[in-house]
Structure 1
Amino acid sequence: MTSNSIANKTILVTGGTGSFGKNFIRKALTLGVKKVIVFSRDELKQYEMAQEFTDSRVRFFIGDVRDKDRLYRAFDGVDIVIHAAALKHVGACEYNPFEAVKTNINGAQNIIEAAIDRGVEKVIALSTDKACSPVNLYGATKLASDKLFVAGNSYVGEKHTKFSVVRYGNVVGSRGSVVPFFKKMIETGTLPITDERMTRFWITLEQGVQFVLDSLERMYGGEIFIPKIPSMKVTDLAKAIGPACKTEIVGIRPGEKLHEAMITEDDARHTLEYNSYYVIQPEFSWWSKEYAVGGKLLDETFSYISNINDHWLTVEELKDLVEKM
């Protein structure tokens, strides 16, 4: 899949100083973008990022997705928005629920309205496996966000803005992930494991960036794109990172699942399968079967859950991934 849709375009990335944002912008600069705008609320992170990204096409815009007026100003002349800003730490969202709602839900609505009114062509919102059958507040706010972005396509009227969602699992080595935590704990000789049965979907930053670029090419508006990615056992990750370390079972934390899902049986009824990804189709009257060329409708009993995946990472594969970080 090529990424010609971003050539000569002005792209804005919310949460652009984060792990995904940096990698996406680095890739976009190699693909002929006209301009990339980093939209985030942390001036220090923007200052530090500006030391690394010296390309004149990179601009920095301090703002918060909670502030609709600031979004209206930032979206002026923007062709594509990648929405990566979120409060995503499960524990922090449980403890600060109103803050999570303001950023993850109200912020999504602000982006939708600003994008439509400013004539943005395409918006891709980054989601998470935790938005599928959520058990924690973070997942619940991201599910609401996903629903808002899908429904946003019905609000455009005579405008031409398109909204789609990308949903994937844990990102190897992203800020706040278990990998840097395990690496830090190696020196203690013990790695804490919440539950020996726990499994997770796993994707690299580079794969996540490429999947977003590919989804920009494929989108008609309203889809939730889900990549086919491997699962891993948390115990295998511990063996890969600290093979000489002992493990200590500490129990599942509030809001955690044993296994993560990305497609439920209820979603399967209107989900298409392709070679390397799935598409949850929007249930709207305007959605056309012409948009589903090449896709195979899933069986109604299908579900995509990390513990029943066909593709698993071995300890050696996990070790290779971690060493490349």
Structure 2
Amino acid sequence: MLNGKSILITGGTGSFGKEFIQTVLQKYPQVKKIVVYSRDELKQFEMQHHTPYGNHVALRYFIGDVRDGERLKRACEGIDYIIHAAALKHVPVAEYNPMECIKTNVFGAENVINAALSLGVKKVVALSTDKAAAPINLYGATKLCSDKLFVAANNMKGNRELTFSVVRYGNVMGSRGSVIPFFLEKRKEGFLPITDSEMTRFNISLSEGVDLVLYALEKAIGGELYVPKIPSYRITEVAQAIAPSCEQRVVGIRPGEKLHEEMITETDSLNTIETERYFIIVPNLMQKSYQEIMEKYLAYYQAKPVEKGFAYSSGKNNDWLSVAQIRDLIKTHIDPDFQPL
């Protein structure tokens, strides 16, 4: 699928970008070019010189910000596929610096769309977040705007051979700033701060996130928002898995934080179909009726509609990780030498 293709990934030096690049180089050794587009020269230097694949002949390093539309267009010359992973994603930072978040997450998304429309790109896959479903914080609101922009871009492509799609998933195990690395560091202090004893989160590994993006690249016909079927865990059980001897100290939920992650709301379910591995929110494309759209996507994916009133929340999931399973996943995906304290 990607052999002979040129790919640009925005935010390419982040956790997802690194995993995606490594996976593509392994699975598609004849990939023509991968452009790492990001604004941090140090992270690009570290990727190039401190990863086993950093000097691969297919890699190109572009310093640039998604806010800079002209620079982004220059980077997209000759590109077949764009993976849009760049974002300002820390909830408290976004609340304190709202316009900076909007400039990156909303205006940056529009710049990606314009570059794709202008330069003959064939496919765009944008990364979303659970926080975009019924958002209660600015970060989630900007990502909802971004999702809507990418879905609507399918109405503007004209006769171009171009599709825009979105993937949405929740807490990525081991990603920077996520709860498990935080707890692994915090346990040295003898206690773990718990925001709320009832809090739950979805769990997905970086490799599963990459697989979802590759699936979207292969299958998308335009406007889909993909949601993986993944397990949940309770925050208290993550603490138990990492440090059973440490005190669990309830500190209260942070502003803009949800008790449970949501990825599909009850309202979204009216446009949602499911396959064995994924839920897919199908688009409301202006030129077709609701019934035509649903029939098209149901047939293409050999899917079925979800039940009326369906919602997908980490607190009401049918699949839960146990303490033992969480420990095994930490060893597999974060630290092979991990031992609970």
Q: Shorter-chain TM-score: what band?
A: over 0.9
Aligned length: 321
Q: Report the Cα distance in structure 2 between the residues aligned to 1:15 and 1:56, rounded to whole angstroms.
A: 20
Pairwise CA RMSD: 1.0
**Is residue 49 of structure 1 aligned with residue 31 of structure 2?**
no
Contact 1:266 1:300 in 2 (8 A): no
Structure 1 residue matching 2:267: 3-state secondary structure:
helix
Contact 1:79 1:121 in 2 (8 A): yes
Instruction: Please tell me whether the aligned partners of residues 282 and 294 of structure 2 are also in contact (alpha carbons under 8 angstroms).
Output: no
Indicate which of 316, 319, 324 corresponds to 2:327: 319
- Rounded to whole Å, the distance in 1 between the matches of 2:41 and 2:196 is 38
Q: Is the 8 A contact 2:233 2:321 kept in 1?
A: yes
TM-score, normalising length: structure 1: 0.97
> SS at 1:236's partner residue?
helix
Aligned partner of 1:254 in structure 2 is: 255
Distance 2:312 2:306 in 1: 11
Contact 2:132 2:143 in 1 (8 A): yes
Q: Is the contact between residue 191 and residue 248 of structure 2 (CA under 8 Å) also seen in structure 1?
A: yes
Determine if contact 1:261/1:306 at 8 Å carries over to the other structure.
yes
Supply the distance in 1 between the matched residues of 2:296 and 2:3 (Cα, whole angstroms): 26
Amino acid aligned to 2:12: G
* Secondary structure at 1:171 match in 2: coil
**Cα distance in structure 2, aligned partners of 1:167 and 1:36:** 23
Instruction: Choose which of 275, 298, 303 in structure 2 pairs with 1:292.
Output: 298
Tell whether 2:263 aligns with 1:265: no
| 5+ residue gaps, structure 2 | 335-341
Q: Distance in 2 between matches of 1:300 and 1:99?
A: 39
What is the aligned counterpart of 1:14 among 10, 14, 20? Answer: 10
Cα distance, 1:291–1:7 mapped onto 2, change above 3 Å: farther
Displacement of 1:275 in angstroms is: 0.3
Q: Distance in 2 between matches of 1:289 and 1:18?
A: 38
Matched position secondary structure for 1:44: helix
Q: Give the whole-Å Cα distance in 1 for the aligned partners of 2:14 and 2:310.
A: 34
- What code does the residue aligned with 2:126 have? A
Residue equivalent to 1:301: 309
Q: Which residue number corresponds to residue 35 of structure 1?
A: 33
Structure 2 letter corresponding to 1:163: F
* CA deviation after TM superposition for structure 1 residue 218, in Å: 1.2
Alignment partners' CA distance in 1, 2:179 and 2:277: 26
Distance in 1 (CA, whole Å) between partners of 2:296 and 2:195 is 46
Q: TM-score, normalised by structure 2?
A: 0.92
C-alpha separation in 1, matches of 2:297 and 2:267: 21
Name stretches of at least 5 consecutive residues in structure 1 with no aligned partner.
none
Taking the aligned partners of 1:159 and 1:250, their CA distance within structure 2 comes to: 52
Q: Which moved more, 1:296-305 or 1:282-291?
A: 282-291
**Alpha-carbon separation, structure 2, partners of 1:195 and 1:143:** 26
**Percent of aligned positions with the same letter in both sequences?**
55
2-structure distance, mates of 1:167, 1:154: 21
In 1, Cα distance between equivalents of 2:100 and 2:308:
37
2: CA distance, partners of 1:181 / 1:27: 26
Change (3 A) 1:121 1:272: same
